[in-house]
Amino acid sequence: MKFAITFNGEREMGDLLGAYASDLADVAFYPPSVRSVLQQEGGAAEQAYAVRLHEFLGAAKNAGPALMAAFDALCVEDDRPTAERVAGLRDELVFYGRAYGVRMVRVSSPLDGRAIKAMLPDVRVCCSANMLVSSVQHLEQVRDFADLIVLDRDINPDLNAIREIRKRFDGEIRLLANEGCVYRCLNRIQHLNRQSHGGGAAVGPLPCRAAIERDPTLERSPIIRPESVGRYADVADVLQLETGPFATRVVATILEAYATGVYQGRICDIVASPGVHACMDLPRGAPSAETATPYDDLMSGKPSGA
């Protein structure tokens, strides 16, 4: 199983590419124009990120894993007419293609994906998990432009549903492994907004946490644990690991855990989700019929259809 990660803005990230080159399919990055909005930065901070990104892409260009430009942020506002905005995306992709060999792009809008494929047919277009593709009906809406699809995280527990999509799609199927809360969490939009703007542990009370406290038997999280990677070998080509919000030392831990299928730490420490962090101080213990806690029930699920 190959893995996809996202550049976290740190120079040290480049050191991981050599160590895990055989495990990585590609590395995504947010162009400065996107990241400055995500992190609510500008000026000197945006310029500093642009310098670090340039250094990283220069080192990564010949490191092995492919590079993917990410334009899938949900909170980036752009008031330009569609044609002008899409032309701007094209120009950025052409620049990154010429400078660093970038031939992949991740989008959260079918409009953007279709336009990019029409203008740059050699660029591989990836449907972001933010597009929420989780059914054959969704597949029909992206089939004409998508080369890769990261399925909605909530489909992770249902291997049969993933198989049904995979057998109807000639491209690459990816699953988002380490991001999620309770299955079909009603607070999903708030999670996405907070995650998009760098929200972490200090997010305060969330309805999903209250729901877990009331009913520990809620359906389990869609998170794919490191030890469960093998169960997905015949339904997915790549597991996408959310690494953007983490320091490089944590990214190394995440990669090692998923590459080896072994992790002895707290799962919340390698999961990027405000909902999970909001549950961090719930009681924890060894999961068993007698001692299982709400936290254990949330995190110890196995996929159906295995």
CATH number assigned to the domain comprising residue 155: 3.20.20.70
Average pLDDT over residues 263-270: 84
213 in any annotated domain: yes
Average pLDDT over residues 169-174: 97
In this model, does residue 283 exceed pLDDT 80? Answer: no
20 in any annotated domain: yes
305 in any annotated domain: no
78 in any annotated domain: yes
Judging by beta carbons within 10 Å of its beta carbon (0-12, 13-18, 19+), is residue 216 exposed, middle or buried? middle
283 in any annotated domain: yes
304 in any annotated domain: no
pLDDT, position 45:
78
Instruction: State percent of the chain over pLDDT 70.
Output: 72
Count how many domains the chain has: 1
Q: What is the pTM of this model?
A: 0.83
pLDDT, position 141:
95
220 in any annotated domain: yes
Sign of the CA dihedral with 218 first, then 272, 135, and 159 last:
negative
Residue with tokens 């310098």: 51
Q: Which domain holds residue 249?
A: 2-299
**Residues whose CB is less than 8 angstroms from the CB of residue 284 and which lie 6 or more positions away in sequence, other chains included:** 266, 293, 295, 296
306 in any annotated domain: no
Instruction: State percent of the chain over pLDDT 90.
Output: 52
Average pLDDT over residues 18-23: 92
pLDDT in tens, 79-132: 667 778 888 899 999 999 999 999 999 999 999 999 999 999 999 999 999 899
Please give the structure tokens belonging to residue 182. Answer: 């309770």
Q: Which residue has the higher pLDDT, 295 or 242?
A: 242
Judging by beta carbons within 10 Å of its beta carbon (0-12, 13-18, 19+), is residue 290 exposed, middle or buried? exposed
Q: Mean pLDDT highest for which of 8-22, 178-192, 285-299?
A: 8-22
